Amino acid sequence: MNHIAAQRTEAQRNAVTELLRISPVADELAARFAKAGHRLYLVGGSVRDALLGRLSPDLDFTTDARPERIQKILSGWAEAVWDTGIEFGTVGAAKRGTQLEITTFRSDTYDRVGRNPEVSFGDTIEGDLVRRDFTVNAMAIELSTKTFVDPHDGLEALARRSLDTPATPQESFADDPLRMLRAARFVAQLDFTPAPRVVEAMRDMSAEIGRITAERVQAELSKLLLGVAPRRGIELMVDTGLADVVLPEVPGMRLAIDEHHQHKDVYQHSLTVLEQAIDLETRHEPASGPDLVLRLAALLHDIGKPATRKFEPGGGVSFHHHEVVGAKMARKRLRALRYSKDVVQDVSQLVYLHLRFHGYGKGEWTDSAVRRYVTDAGDLLTRLHKLVRADCTTRNKRKAAGLQRAYDDLEARIARIAEEEDLARVRPDLDGNEIMRILGLKPGPLVGKAWKHLKELRLDRGPLDHDEAVAELRAWAAEQGIEPPT
């Protein structure tokens, strides 16, 4: 038995072990389908993940039974059944914490204008598998006998971590251009390497991704960024031209020269910042998972540099206000990709704030400046700490150590002031009701102006005692021509 064959046998054995682990749900389901005269297969990503030893509680099945028949077989056994995908031949169900999707064999055709296929049902597992996206997802296990069906050598591709298509890549991507972005996602998520013919087809057909809705693109991009190696996925997108359509600001950074001259361009710097931000995600918070907001901010933090690049006399390069321009660009792109309002706001605010620390110098900031830094960051402060630290990519070890020491000092000052003054809830020393009572005002814009003035004082000087706050409020009122009651 050659090496590949031995690997294949061992992988099959491991997959069967995984399948036994999820029994009796799969076995019960297979028995119900067999009793009804139908075949049931575990298929696609579920088989791939079983072979990788990472089977999830969401399982995909395929069968020769038609959707209405599937519903009848599930009736009385599943704890819940839903038919939101029934027009595409899919019936969903839940059983003892396992989510199941059961789809009738498909032999779809595509008009190659939109993404949705003209659904037609097939009669064989082989016909179903050939229409799937990649060979590693074109394997099935017949559940009654636990035998493999692998007509496209997906098991061998999985052993080599190779990503290829069952049909030609041109046919596959013409049918569904989203598969190109899925290729980049699998590179980032599962550490696969795309076959040369897949990369070539992606380069030739990258513009076709424009046929896909923004919502579907965003879902794949998010999964890519949350993978174990998002840099590899982003690089594949940029190298093939996919990013020119999906996220053009990222390849656009290749036009800018980093002002410190430690990288070929700002694009490479941003990829390094992304990797370093990922490393910082769990360093102080081991229980936290991948942070989409932080990763988006790290990738996009310098996208304003090409638009603000200026060559200075003597050979220098500057990017004045690139954080302001970059925040606007990030907001526009993320909205176009249909990200939620919270994600758009948080990422753009981090891009806007990421440069603020560089005014800290050797600790010259006043306590007032520290308070404003914390207040402007708000709930994003922990992420801002990570982003700023990740943004240090200089190869000069002395300079890098100096920047980290400076940020250590800033964090220590934030902790000290927060403990003394409760920075998490910076409010004026007088509330709106007191302002109205002292100045004899009714609710309206003047109360808001007074409140804002007192908050600015609070940021500048720290907490005021009650008498000081009242005196400051009366002094402000006098400047505004407001005569408080005596």
Q: pLDDT for 87-98, tens place per residue?
A: 889 999 999 989
The reply to whether 177 and 237 lie within a common domain is yes
Which has the minimum average pLDDT: 57-61, 190-194, 233-237?
A: 57-61
Domain holding 20: CATH number?
3.30.460.10
Longest CA span, the chain? 100
pLDDT of residue 261: 47
Q: Which amino acid is at 460?
A: D
Rounded distance between C-alpha atoms, residue 339 and residue 108, angstroms: 30
The reply to whether 339 and 414 lie within a common domain is yes
The reply to whether 192 and 74 lie within a common domain is no
Q: Which domain holds residue 107?
A: 3-160
pLDDT of residue 433: 82
The reply to whether 381 and 408 lie within a common domain is yes
The reply to whether 351 and 473 lie within a common domain is no
Q: pLDDT for 13-27, tens place per residue?
A: 666 666 656 667 888
- Kindly tell me if the per-residue pLDDT of 432 is higher than 90: no
Question: Does any domain span residue 252?
Answer: no
Instruction: Characterize the bridge pairing of strands 98-104 and 58-63.
Output: parallel
Number of domains in the chain: 4
The reply to whether 261 and 360 lie within a common domain is yes
Question: Given 225, 247, 269, which residue is the final one in a domain?
Answer: 247
Question: Does any domain span residue 291?
Answer: yes
pTM: 0.81
- Kindly tell me if the per-residue pLDDT of 200 is higher than 50: yes
Question: Given 119, 136, 160, which residue is the final one in a domain?
Answer: 160
The reply to whether 199 and 141 lie within a common domain is no
The reply to whether 412 and 332 lie within a common domain is yes
What sign does the CA torsion over 369, 373, 375, 376 have? positive
Question: Does any domain span residue 16?
Answer: yes
Looking at 160-265, list the stretches that DSSP marks H as alpha helix, in order from N- to C-terminal side: 169-175, 178-190, 196-205, 214-225, 230-240, 242-246, 249-252
pLDDT of residue 9: 66
What Cα–Cα distance (Å) separates residue 247 from each residue in 290, 319, 339?
20, 21, 13
Q: pLDDT for 460-484, tens place per residue?
A: 777 777 888 888 888 888 888 888 7
Give the bridge partners for 98, in sequence order.
Answer: 95
